[in-house]
């Protein structure tokens, strides 16, 4: 059985064509405002200048990756974000099984617009999972007045990424009855009967993953495998990523034994996903998302991942 399906196209049109009640869970990292990954803005990103993408300078000798500048969005653009996700939620709702969960990466500045939209579109707001890591977003001094106000920053330095959790209302009288009929309605626990926490320690995406799929928003497999695994309470079913990018979420689904459907409208990112999903899924065969632990070895998370590759090399794959 083919456990992976990749679709090139607009996600709303692609979701519209799916069968009702065919998706068990959704995990996705959408373009937060659908602005930064529009064709015009992606072209500016690839040229390395202009648009909403801030190309930060080196920091302590390290090259910092581009970050979208959400602070420049107008109120009208923020309302457009909310309107889009209302439409998106209403299209997705009938395709998801009753009790199916949606986990979406967010941004603290735009989170409320997406949450309001999803609730308006028919979903229950089930809280937020925080991916904690050491970031470089925020903490900047007043622009063009850094020396005048050396002890002032405009925003806090970001060290977390909110992943918003939603659920399609259950169709049965109880969660137990919904699980029996639909296989959805709850979250899968970690190994040893440990509930999924709403704070997950994380880190920057390791270089060995970026060498496979160098996408601007690539998230580490360690985190993705934990959250993707949690979305299917009975350990089987289909995970959908409507904003697939390089396919890292689909790779995580394959790594934990699930089926995955990915949708991507950008041809370059779609081609990258075609090449990246299998290699990413075969990294770290022992990391199957059933535990938060990653610092079993001394040193950084990057060093730990490299050690895993040496001790437990990925299986061979063919394209």
Has residue 242 got a pLDDT over 60?
A: yes
140 against 298, higher pLDDT: 140
> Using one digit for the tens of pLDDT, what is the confidence trace for 43-99?
655 565 555 444 444 433 444 444 445 555 677 877 888 899 999 999 999 999 999
Strand 23-28 and strand 53-54: pairing? Answer: unpaired
| pLDDT (0 to 100) of residue 2 | 72
> Using one digit for the tens of pLDDT, what is the confidence trace for 151-198?
998 888 878 899 999 999 999 999 999 999 999 999 999 999 999 999
Q: Which of 71, 33, 21, 25 is nearest to 238 (CA)?
A: 25
| pLDDT (0 to 100) of residue 302 | 59
| 319/38 Cα distance (integer angstroms) | 29
| pLDDT (0 to 100) of residue 157 | 80
Q: Which of 192, 175, 193 is nearest to 184 (CA)?
A: 175
Has residue 312 got a pLDDT over 70?
A: no
| pLDDT (0 to 100) of residue 39 | 60
Please count the other Cβ atoms lying within 10 Å of the Cβ belonging to residue 290. Answer: 17
| 259/251 Cα distance (integer angstroms) | 10
Across the chain, mean pLDDT equals 84
Structure token pair of residue 14:
């692609």
312 against 252, higher pLDDT: 252
* Cα dist from 152 to 57, 69, 261, whole Å: 19, 19, 46
This prediction has a pTM of: 0.82
Structure token pair of residue 185:
């309605």
Question: Which pLDDT band holds residue 300 (cuts at 50, 70, 90)?
Answer: low
Percent of the chain with pLDDT over 70: 77
> Using one digit for the tens of pLDDT, what is the confidence trace for 7-55?
999 999 999 999 999 999 999 999 864 455 456 655 655 565 555 444 4
DSSP string of 23-70, one letter each residue: EEEEEE---TTSSTTSHHHHHHHHHTSSTTEE----BTTBPPPPEE-G
CA angle 178, 180, 185 (to 5 degrees): 35
Q: What's the maximum distance between 2 C-alpha atoms anywhere in the chain?
A: 64
Question: Which pLDDT band holds residue 235 (cuts at 50, 70, 90)?
Answer: very high
The mean pLDDT value for 234-240 works out to 97
Please report the domains of the chain, with CATH numbers, ordered by start residue.
4-311 (3.40.50.150)
């Amino acid at each position: 059985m083919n456990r992976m399906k990749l679709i090139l196209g607009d996600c709303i049109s692609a979701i519209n064509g799916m069968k009702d009640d065919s998706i068990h869970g959704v995990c996705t990292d959408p373009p937060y405002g659908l602005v930064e990954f529009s064709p015009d803005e992606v072209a500016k990103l690839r040229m390395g200048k202009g648009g909403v993408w801030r190309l930060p300078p080196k920091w302590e000798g390290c090259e910092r990756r581009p970050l979208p500048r959400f602070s420049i969005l107008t109120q009208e653009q923020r309302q457009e974000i909310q309107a889009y996700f209302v439409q998106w939620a209403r299209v997705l709702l009938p395709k998801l099984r009753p009790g199916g969960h949606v986990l979406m990466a967010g941004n603290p500045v735009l989170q409320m617009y997406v949450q309001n939209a999803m609730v308006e579109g028919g979903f229950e707001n089930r809280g937020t999972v925080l991916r904690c890591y050491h970031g470089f977003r925020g903490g900047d001094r007043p622009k063009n007045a850094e020396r005048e106000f050396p002890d002032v920053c405009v925003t806090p330095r970001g060290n977390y990424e909110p992943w918003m959790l939603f659920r399609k209302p259950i169709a049965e009288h109880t969660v137990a009855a919904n699980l029996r009929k639909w296989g959805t309605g709850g979250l899968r626990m970690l190994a040893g009967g440990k509930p999924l926490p709403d704070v997950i320690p994380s880190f920057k995406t390791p270089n060995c993953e970026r060498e496979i799929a160098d996408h601007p928003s690539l998230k580490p497999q360690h985190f993705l495998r934990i959250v993707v695994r949690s979305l299917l309470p009975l350990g089987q079913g289909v995970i959908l990523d409507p904003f697939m990018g390089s396919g890292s979420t689909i790779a995580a689904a394959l790594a934990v034994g699930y089926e995955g459907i990915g949708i991507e409208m950008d041809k370059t990112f779609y081609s990258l996903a075609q090449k990246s999903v299998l290699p990413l899924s075969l990294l770290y065969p022992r990391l199957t998302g059933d535990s938060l632990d990653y610092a079993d070895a001394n040193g950084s998370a990057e060093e730990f991942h490299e050690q895993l590759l040496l001790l437990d090399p990925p299986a061979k794959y063919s394209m």
